[in-house]
Amino acid sequence: MRRLALLLVIAFVAAGCMGGDEEGVSTADYIAKADGVCGAHQVRLSRIPRPTTSEPAELGIFLERALPIAREQLDELQDLPKPSNEDDRARIDRLLTLLEQELELNEAAQEAAQGGDAQAANGALQEGAPLSAEANQLAEELGFIVCARRA
Protein backbone atom coordinates (compact mmCIF):
# COMPACT_ATOMS: atom_id res chain seq x y z
CA MET A 1 0.00 0.00 0.00
CA ARG A 2 2.87 2.35 0.81
CA ARG A 3 4.34 1.89 -2.67
CA LEU A 4 0.97 2.59 -4.27
CA ALA A 5 0.53 5.73 -2.20
CA LEU A 6 3.96 6.88 -3.29
CA LEU A 7 3.03 6.17 -6.90
CA LEU A 8 -0.04 8.32 -6.42
CA VAL A 9 1.97 11.34 -5.40
CA ILE A 10 4.57 10.73 -8.03
CA ALA A 11 1.97 10.51 -10.74
CA PHE A 12 0.52 13.87 -9.86
CA VAL A 13 3.88 15.47 -9.57
CA ALA A 14 5.70 13.71 -12.35
CA ALA A 15 3.09 13.50 -14.97
CA GLY A 16 0.79 16.25 -13.95
CA CYS A 17 2.44 18.95 -15.90
CA MET A 18 0.17 20.14 -18.67
CA GLY A 19 -2.12 23.09 -19.44
CA GLY A 20 -4.31 25.86 -20.97
CA ASP A 21 -5.36 27.19 -24.41
CA GLU A 22 -5.42 30.56 -26.25
CA GLU A 23 -3.02 31.26 -29.13
CA GLY A 24 -0.46 28.70 -28.06
CA VAL A 25 3.17 28.85 -27.10
CA SER A 26 6.24 26.94 -28.14
CA THR A 27 6.51 23.47 -26.70
CA ALA A 28 9.77 24.45 -24.98
CA ASP A 29 8.09 27.43 -23.28
CA TYR A 30 5.20 25.28 -22.23
CA ILE A 31 7.48 22.63 -20.74
CA ALA A 32 9.47 25.27 -18.84
CA LYS A 33 6.32 26.77 -17.31
CA ALA A 34 4.80 23.39 -16.53
CA ASP A 35 8.02 22.14 -14.94
CA GLY A 36 7.95 25.26 -12.75
CA VAL A 37 4.44 24.38 -11.58
CA CYS A 38 5.47 20.79 -10.94
CA GLY A 39 8.54 21.87 -8.99
CA ALA A 40 6.54 24.09 -6.66
CA HIS A 41 4.07 21.31 -5.96
CA GLN A 42 6.78 18.67 -5.51
CA VAL A 43 8.20 20.74 -2.68
CA ARG A 44 4.81 20.91 -0.98
CA LEU A 45 4.14 17.21 -1.49
CA SER A 46 7.57 16.23 -0.19
CA ARG A 47 6.67 17.79 3.17
CA ILE A 48 3.81 15.35 3.72
CA PRO A 49 4.88 12.27 5.69
CA ARG A 50 4.34 9.12 3.65
CA PRO A 51 2.41 6.23 5.17
CA THR A 52 4.69 3.84 7.04
CA THR A 53 2.13 1.08 7.61
CA SER A 54 -0.56 -0.57 5.54
CA GLU A 55 -3.28 0.81 7.79
CA PRO A 56 -6.11 2.39 5.79
CA ALA A 57 -6.41 5.25 8.27
CA GLU A 58 -2.79 6.26 7.68
CA LEU A 59 -3.27 6.17 3.91
CA GLY A 60 -6.48 8.17 4.29
CA ILE A 61 -4.69 10.90 6.22
CA PHE A 62 -1.88 11.01 3.68
CA LEU A 63 -4.30 11.27 0.76
CA GLU A 64 -6.37 13.88 2.57
CA ARG A 65 -3.28 16.10 2.69
CA ALA A 66 -1.81 15.22 -0.73
CA LEU A 67 -4.87 15.27 -2.98
CA PRO A 68 -5.74 18.95 -2.60
CA ILE A 69 -2.19 19.81 -3.66
CA ALA A 70 -2.45 17.43 -6.60
CA ARG A 71 -5.80 18.97 -7.61
CA GLU A 72 -4.33 22.47 -7.37
CA GLN A 73 -1.39 21.43 -9.52
CA LEU A 74 -3.63 19.91 -12.16
CA ASP A 75 -5.81 23.02 -12.21
CA GLU A 76 -2.76 25.26 -12.66
CA LEU A 77 -1.43 23.07 -15.43
CA GLN A 78 -4.77 23.07 -17.21
CA ASP A 79 -4.71 26.88 -17.11
CA LEU A 80 -1.33 27.17 -18.85
CA PRO A 81 -1.43 28.12 -22.54
CA LYS A 82 -0.83 24.93 -24.50
CA PRO A 83 1.74 24.61 -27.26
CA SER A 84 0.71 25.65 -30.74
CA ASN A 85 2.14 22.39 -32.12
CA GLU A 86 -0.96 20.25 -32.68
CA ASP A 87 0.77 16.91 -32.03
CA ASP A 88 2.21 18.13 -28.73
CA ARG A 89 -1.12 19.71 -27.80
CA ALA A 90 -2.90 16.40 -28.42
CA ARG A 91 -0.39 14.50 -26.29
CA ILE A 92 -0.74 17.07 -23.52
CA ASP A 93 -4.52 16.81 -23.70
CA ARG A 94 -4.16 13.04 -23.33
CA LEU A 95 -1.83 13.53 -20.39
CA LEU A 96 -4.27 15.88 -18.67
CA THR A 97 -7.07 13.37 -19.19
CA LEU A 98 -4.98 10.60 -17.66
CA LEU A 99 -4.12 12.77 -14.68
CA GLU A 100 -7.76 13.70 -14.13
CA GLN A 101 -8.77 10.03 -14.23
CA GLU A 102 -6.01 9.08 -11.84
CA LEU A 103 -6.93 11.87 -9.46
CA GLU A 104 -10.51 10.62 -9.39
CA LEU A 105 -9.31 7.10 -8.57
CA ASN A 106 -7.09 8.45 -5.82
CA GLU A 107 -10.02 10.38 -4.39
CA ALA A 108 -11.96 7.11 -4.34
CA ALA A 109 -9.00 5.47 -2.58
CA GLN A 110 -9.01 8.24 0.01
CA GLU A 111 -12.70 7.77 0.69
CA ALA A 112 -12.28 4.00 0.98
CA ALA A 113 -9.23 4.32 3.23
CA GLN A 114 -10.97 6.77 5.51
CA GLY A 115 -13.87 4.32 5.71
CA GLY A 116 -11.45 1.56 6.74
CA ASP A 117 -11.79 -0.41 3.49
CA ALA A 118 -8.19 -1.28 2.66
CA GLN A 119 -9.19 -3.59 -0.18
CA ALA A 120 -11.18 -0.90 -2.01
CA ALA A 121 -8.44 1.68 -1.39
CA ASN A 122 -5.79 -0.65 -2.79
CA GLY A 123 -8.02 -1.52 -5.73
CA ALA A 124 -8.46 2.13 -6.67
CA LEU A 125 -4.73 2.81 -6.37
CA GLN A 126 -3.91 -0.25 -8.47
CA GLU A 127 -6.40 0.82 -11.10
CA GLY A 128 -4.58 4.16 -11.29
CA ALA A 129 -1.11 2.63 -11.71
CA PRO A 130 -1.38 2.08 -15.51
CA LEU A 131 -2.69 5.63 -15.91
CA SER A 132 0.31 6.91 -14.01
CA ALA A 133 2.71 4.86 -16.14
CA GLU A 134 1.20 6.14 -19.38
CA ALA A 135 1.20 9.73 -18.13
CA ASN A 136 4.82 9.48 -17.07
CA GLN A 137 5.80 8.04 -20.45
CA LEU A 138 4.06 10.93 -22.24
CA ALA A 139 5.76 13.46 -19.99
CA GLU A 140 9.17 11.94 -20.74
CA GLU A 141 8.48 11.80 -24.49
CA LEU A 142 7.50 15.46 -24.49
CA GLY A 143 10.75 16.39 -22.76
CA PHE A 144 9.63 17.31 -19.27
CA ILE A 145 12.30 17.26 -16.61
CA VAL A 146 10.68 18.08 -13.29
CA CYS A 147 7.22 16.86 -14.26
CA ALA A 148 8.59 13.52 -15.41
CA ARG A 149 10.72 12.97 -12.30
CA ARG A 150 9.65 10.18 -10.02
CA ALA A 151 10.37 10.86 -6.37
SS (H, E, C) 44-98: HHHCCCCCCCCCHHHHHHHHHHHHHHHHHHHHHHHHCCCECCHHHHHHHHHHHHH
Question: What pLDDT does 57 receive?
Answer: 93
Question: What pLDDT does 19 receive?
Answer: 42
Buried b (16+ CB within 10 A) or exposed e, 135-150: bbebbeebebebbbbe
Q: Cβ distance 135 to 96 under 8 Å?
A: no
Q: Decide which of 17 and 104 is more confident.
A: 104
Digit-coded pLDDT (tens) for 4-22: 444 444 444 444 444 444 4
pLDDT, average across residues 49-78: 95
Question: What pLDDT does 105 receive?
Answer: 97
Count CB neighbours of 94 within 10 A: 14
**CATH class name, domain 2-142:** mainly alpha
Query: Domain map of the chain by residue range?
Result: 2-142
Give the residue from 39, 52, 35, 49 showing the smallest Cα distance to 1. Answer: 52
Buried b (16+ CB within 10 A) or exposed e, 35-58: bebbeebbebbeeeebbeeeebeb
pLDDT bin (cut points 50, 70, 90) of residue 142 is very high
pLDDT bin (cut points 50, 70, 90) of residue 116 is very high
Q: Any idea what DSSP says for residue 151?
A: -
**Does the structure show a pLDDT above 50 at 76?**
yes
